[in-house]
Amino acid sequence: MIKFDTDKFIQTTLGELVSKEKKSIISGPFGSNVGKKFFKEEGIPLIRGNNLSKGEEKFKDDGFVFLTREKADELNCYAIKNDLIFTAVGTIGQVGIIDEKLKYDEYVISNKQLRARFDNSKITPLFAYYWFSSYWVQKLILQRNVGSTVPLINLSVLKGLPITLPKSIETQKSIVEVLENISLKIEVNNKINQELEAMAKTLYDYWFVQFDFPFDFAQGKLDVNGKPYKSSGGKMVFNEVLKREIPEGWAVKELECCADFKNGKGMKKDLLDDNGEFPVFGSNGIVGKTNKLLFDSPVIAIGRVGANYGEIHYSIDSCWITDNAVTSQPIKNEYLWWLLLALKGINYSSIAGGSAQPLITQGKLKALNFAIPSNDSFQNFHQIINPIYLKINNVLKQNQKLSELRDWLLPMLMNGQVSVAHSHADENLGEVEQELGMVAEDGEIYKSKI
């Protein structure tokens, strides 16, 4: 057990840190009191599960439905600045914080959430957020699940969550500053990747949706320095399968001609290992690590069931993919990024089956028809797009390391093993800042090429 200085640090629970005001810690309203019939297009925003995450974002400030002021007052389940929101039913372990950067001054929590309001003389709200959104508290919440068929935590579980914290508010604020610097760099990385992804999608749309791939009309072949094919008068022919015009010479084939499909494989909890070598992908992204290997080459995961059906994730490196995703591996390497972007462009609601919840099958994916050019087009596309996705992948790895650094720092800072003034974070953050500058410059280079 880690020892800590009891003169400077305390061990307590969430319930001992909430404010003394009435309703400082509450559960959401009964479901029948906040159903669809009450939703409006404007008013007081209602927080739902899609607004929270497991430490990836402090709060997703969009995708709301709204309630009237009268209905919000009736429910009296408000969340305001510095409140923490916890998922109570379903994806337990999700946490969000209402901060001053958000669009609205007040929100209402849904029937599947809990809200905590803290005593600011005891704990800095952001400190509370970083502690309760940490991976070890997420694991603890899962262990304290009191649901039978659906994961569930209640107010009793929430109040009993343990926390170690400095007695000094100033020390808490200093720790938060270090963690905020790391989070800021993760946010910058995410913005860079969003820009790179947008450039990749734009290039894909030009070539394979709008059919304005660069073409040398004199030589009659694709040329990266050529003119845009369709808008320059390139010959188009109507295709009965797609019910649209496609470039002359292109074929229409099912998606299985470019990729192998199969389901992922279930993984027992005892095979998950926080120190494992390989990431484990589920339908909503990386869900853990393991030392077991399922795929040793680039693979794409498509969420196949439930709320995350149709979500797309990929790994260039070796990994494991669970059985709540369909996997897709390109038959040829140069198909990889075309395949990824093609999958991202699918309207999955049009192919989803299932009675109780949406379900995507291999068969439905394999049978999708696409306009397919010659292999030369795929090769040229791959040569341009590959450096972009390699950079995206590197940035994702940076973010993973930054998250690990943040998770490592927090307990060390909590118990005084690392001081804020002399923590190892300073050197690491300097290196990261330099790398981020390089990524930003590369982003501008890619933009100028496209």
Residue 422 has pLDDT above 60, yes or no: no
3-class DSSP string for the chain: CCCCCCCCEEEEEHHHCECCCCCCEEECCCHHHHCHHHCECCCEEEECHHHCECCCCCCCCCCCEEECHHHHHHHCCEEECCCEEEECECCCCCEEECCCCCCCCEEEECCCEEEECECCCCCCHHHHHHHHCCHHHHHHHHHCCCCCCCCECCHHHHHCCEEEEECCHHHHHHHHHHHHHHHHHHHHHHHHHHHHHHHHHHHHHHHHHCCCCEEECCCCEECCCCEECHHHCCCEEEECCCCEEEECCCEEEEHHHCEEEEECCCCCHHHECCCCCEEEEECCEEEEEECCCCECCCEEEEECEHHHCCCEEEECCCEEECCCEEEEEECCHHHHHHHHHHHHCCCHHHCCECCCCCECCHHHHHCCEEEECCHHHHHHHHHHHHHHHHHHHHHHHHHHHHHHHHHHHHHHHHCCCCCCCCCCHHHHHHHHHHHHHHHHHHHHHHHHHC
pTM above 0.75, yes or no: yes
Residue 45 has pLDDT above 70, yes or no: yes
Residue 265 has pLDDT above 50, yes or no: yes
**What's the confidence (pLDDT) of residue 421?**
59
**What's the confidence (pLDDT) of residue 35?**
83
- What's the average model confidence in pLDDT over 140-169? 93
Residue 447 has pLDDT above 70, yes or no: no
* 18-33 pLDDT tens trace: 999 999 999 999 877 8
**What's the confidence (pLDDT) of residue 436?**
43
Whether 382 and 334 have beta carbons less than 8 Å apart is answered as: yes
Name which residue leads in pLDDT, 437 or 389: 389
**What's the confidence (pLDDT) of residue 2?**
52
Most confident of 120-129, 134-143, 301-310, 372-381: 120-129
Query: CATH homologous superfamily of domain 9-167?
Result: DNA methylase specificity domains (3.90.220.20)
- What's the average model confidence in pLDDT over 47-68? 90
Most confident of 124-133, 286-295, 413-422, 434-443: 124-133
- What's the average model confidence in pLDDT over 288-309? 89
**What's the confidence (pLDDT) of residue 443?**
44
Residue 428 has pLDDT above 50, yes or no: no
Lowest mean pLDDT among 40-44, 104-108, 250-254, 418-422: 418-422
Lowest mean pLDDT among 161-170, 288-297, 301-310, 382-391: 301-310
Whole-number mean pLDDT of the chain? 88
- What's the average model confidence in pLDDT over 255-270? 91
**What's the confidence (pLDDT) of residue 424?**
45
Confidence of residue 3 (pLDDT cuts 50, 70, 90): low
Confidence of residue 4 (pLDDT cuts 50, 70, 90): low
Residue 350 has pLDDT above 60, yes or no: yes
**What's the confidence (pLDDT) of residue 446?**
39
**What's the confidence (pLDDT) of residue 321?**
95
Provide the residue ranges of all domains of the chain, joining segments of one domain with +. Answer: 9-167
Residue 225 has pLDDT above 50, yes or no: yes
Residue 445 has pLDDT above 60, yes or no: no
Confidence of residue 403 (pLDDT cuts 50, 70, 90): confident
Residue 119 has pLDDT above 70, yes or no: yes
